[in-house]
Structures are given as C-alpha cells and as structure tokens.
Structure 1
C-alpha cells in the first residue's frame, strides 16, 4: 500500500490536509472491519443452520434414532457455533473474551438465582430428553397424573388423560417423582379374582374360566397362564387368574374377560356368591 507521502503527491489528493487523509483512511478501515464482522456473523449463521439441519435429517433418515433427542442436540450445536462466532468477532475487535465470559458467568448466576424454578424445569427437561424414560405416545403415570404423552419440551410435559383432556406437568415434577410407563414393555399381565360358591364344582368352574379366557385371541399362552384357587373367603372360593396380553390390549381385554367369565359361569350354573346379612329379631318376652 502506498504511504501517505506518495498519496499527497498525487493530483487526486492535492489540496487535502493530512487530517482529511487520516479521516478517510480511518473510515475506510472501519467500513472494512464492519463488513468483515457482518460477513463472519452471516457465515456463522449459515454454518450453524446447516449443522442443525444435518443433525435433524440424520434422525429422520434412521428410524432407530429418537427425533426429539436429535432436535435437542441440533439446537445445542447451533447455539454453540453462534457463541463461538460471536466470541471470535469480539476477539477481532480486541475485546478480552475472558472478561466477557466472566461477565456472562456472573450474569448467568444472578439470573439462575432469580429463576430457580424455571431452570429446574429446564434441567429436568434436559434429563428427560437425554435419558428418555418416557417418549411421545407412551401411556404413563407421573406426578399423580395418568395419560398419553403428547409433547415433551424443556419446560413441561404435555399429557392427554383418559378423558382426552390436556394436562401440563412441569418437568421438575416429572423427573422428581416416580414414573410409571405402561408402554415401556410390549406385553402386560392381566389379573382377576373370581369367586364361586363353596358348593360349586371347582374343576368345572376352573375349566369354564380357562376356556373362556384362553379362547380369546388376545390371550398369550407363553408365559403359561396361572389359574388356581388361592383363597377361601368368608362366602366364596376365590380363583386367582393371571394371563399375559399385549400392552395395547390391556384395558379392553381385562374388562371384556371380566364380563365374559361372569356370563360363562352363569351359563354353567356355577354360583357366584355375594355377601348376605340375616337379621334375626329377638322374640318378645
């Protein structure tokens, strides 16, 4: 680049003072720096968006990968890239990035103390997304609420209860309580107790119960069903019945079998007792 003495000798700059020339060079330098900063920020934005899309597409291309987890990781990757871009820009202007990081840390601590509840929900949301004890579509019981998981965000988990009513549960309550996931396993064991009268033929009653339940296509033969007399009650002999079925069939299957066994016992003339009370009136003296 030509020095100032050479520039002053040219006809273009004749009549201009050294102060004017310095001002023009300063403006040109500042404009170049601003354009460079804008270019770096735009490049960082483009790269971060591209990385985010690639991570999301990776989960879409493989059905074994969890979409929710990879969307979370994609967002984290984008923020990290933009953070480094901003630090690089500040460093270019001679700003001590260590001081900036320290200021951000102090501000983060102050904000964290003020927003403890919100941050605890976010921390719990991160744990739910990373460890995935529940997934969208699972039927669960959390924080005394039962329903199907519709959405999991960093702040809350959305359920649809048995009446299809929306229930919003803060993530801190989900992660901090016992989680019962009824959809985690493909099969479930249904259980009933059927009582018959003491005068009933137990062999005939057992056959009716077994044939009725095992005749349903939803009943599994493996593991072996359990149908045995397990209790002699005050007014009945109780059969304990345990049969496995698909988890998705559980509720309808259990209700259907309760009714069908009752009707089958009635048809087989097997008495199903119920508690009775006899009132004896004392004779008048």
Structure 2
C-alpha cells in the first residue's frame, strides 16, 4: 500500500505541475503563433522592398529567407524564456551553441549546401534563366534555393542539383552574354581555288538575318582532309540554343546554295584501292556465255 500511495502522490504532483505550467504553455504557443505570422509578414515585406530595389530574384529569395529565420530564432528564444523562467539568455545561448555544434556535425552536408546556396545567390553571375553546364549536368536555371538548384534540361526534364556540387565544380554559363560564337567545318575539293572558295563562303553568310554583322564572319583554311581541304567557318549569333540551331541552319543552307552556284564541289569521302599485281577476273564457264 505504501508503494501505491507513493505512486499516487507522484502522479498528483505531476498533474499539479502540469496544471501550473498550462498558462506558460499557452503563452509560449501564442508567442510561436505570433512568430509565424511575423515571419510571413517580414518575408513578404522584404521580397517587395528588394524587388522594388532591383535586386536579382535569387537575392530576393535569400534576403526573405534569412529575415524569416531571424524572426523565428527570436520567437523561439522568447518562447523558451516563457517556459523556463529560471533560464537566462546567456544560458540559452550557451545551450544553443553546444547544440549547433552537435547538429553541425550530424547534418554537415545539409549545412554545406546551405552555405553554398547563400554564396551562389550572392554571385553576380548565373541568373535565373541562364543555360549552364557543370560536369555531367546541363540545363536552364529554373530556381535557386538555399539547399539545391533546379535545372530544366532542354528536353524538359528536371534535374535537382545540390548547391555544393555547383559551388565546388567549374560551371560554364552558356548564355552569360547575348551573343555567342558558332562554327562549322566546310570541305571543298582539292582542285578548287581556295581564295575563291573562301570569298564565296563569306559572301554567302555575312548578310544573313541571324548572323551578327558587327562581329563579322571568319573563314580559315583548316587542314588537308582525306577527301577535301577543310575550312573553319565562324560567325556570331544569339547565345540561346534555339538561336544557335536556327542560325546554323541558315548558314549551312546558304553555303550549300552559294557553292553550288559557283560550281565548287563539296566532296564526299573517297577511297582508292591499290593492288600489288594485275587483278584477275574470273569470267566463269564459257559454255554458259551466249
């Protein structure tokens, strides 16, 4: 009976203690609720102000997220102070310091991606909408968050890349500039006047609609090929993939028409076979002839 009475006393004490802390729990819950509303409001205001200031979309998202995090940290500290009135602000900061170290070791990859996301958002390059290439990843930047970057491939598939991967590896921004140099190789037969061929190729493409006239057109004799003398043809056009394909289509068609009109042959690969002696041809059974 003594054991039962002791257990009952403990239960009554626990219930009484819980009843005494109910007001504190209610106040702490109210503080967290207000914090949630304030965090949403602060994020909205920061997004609006940063957007009106002309900040990049990635920086707008970064500022809004950081502002919301700061509001939540302050609200959680206030809620803990209400629940634990005997705990001072210094002790709370000490506990948070030790806890952050432990959490940092446990979730190192997450924090690494978080810091990489902050640094990527602060870059002046790699904007939303840019076409980038990084190791085996390629696509248009659709969204940059604090943990990962969303790349939309040209075939419309979505690739989610950790920010640390983009931060540690070289990134080639294909659409960083409005114009991009393109090139193809054109071969002409060995008996062609190379100067005339170069002039014909250059004249065929320099006035095309999608070829930038201010950058000019380059035509260089490249090498002695197996069946042709090859020219490298370079021109400047838009940096987007669709502009590259359209301008290349125009250039190839124009060069083909111009070389045909000038009667300049574009040879296909040919092979010459040499035999060490006379080649004997079996005529078959003569009785079958006639």
The structural deviation recorded for 1:241 is 2.1
How many positions carry a matched residue from both structures?
A: 257
The structural deviation recorded for 1:184 is 0.9
Partner of 1:251: 245
Partner of 1:117: 109
The structural deviation recorded for 1:136 is 2.0
Contact 2:47 2:61 in 1 (8 A): yes
The structural deviation recorded for 1:113 is 1.6
Structure 1 residues 131 and 50, CA, compared in 2 at 3 Å: closer, same or farther?
Answer: same
Structure 1 residues 35 and 72, CA, compared in 2 at 3 Å: closer, same or farther?
Answer: same
Q: Secondary structure at the match of 2:132?
A: strand
Partner of 2:215: 223
The structural deviation recorded for 1:210 is 1.4
TM-score, length-scaled by structure 2: 0.76
Which of 218, 224, 236 does residue 228 from structure 2 map onto? Answer: 236
Contact 1:122 1:155 in 2 (8 A): yes
Partner of 1:54: 45
Q: Which moved more, 1:184-193 or 1:160-169?
A: 160-169
Q: Which runs of 5+ in 2 are unaligned?
A: 1-18, 280-290
Which of 61, 68, 85 does residue 78 from structure 1 map onto? Answer: 68
Which of 120, 123, 133 does residue 131 from structure 1 map onto? Answer: 123
The structural deviation recorded for 1:179 is 0.4
Which of 151, 157, 168 does residue 159 from structure 1 map onto? Answer: 151
Partner of 2:189: 197
Which of 62, 77, 83 does residue 87 from structure 1 map onto? Answer: 77
Q: Which runs of 5+ in 1 are unaligned?
A: 1-26
Partner of 2:269: 275
Instruction: State the Cα deviation string for residues 59-107 of structure 1 (Å, max 9, x = none).
Output: 3335x32123112211211221232243345456342222222222222
TM-score, length-scaled by structure 1: 0.77
The structural deviation recorded for 1:178 is 0.8
Partner of 1:262: 256
Structure 1 residues 35 and 107, CA, compared in 2 at 3 Å: closer, same or farther?
Answer: closer
Distance 1:144 1:35 in 2: 52
1:214 aligns with 2:206: yes
Q: CA RMSD in A?
A: 2.9
Contact 1:218 1:253 in 2 (8 A): yes
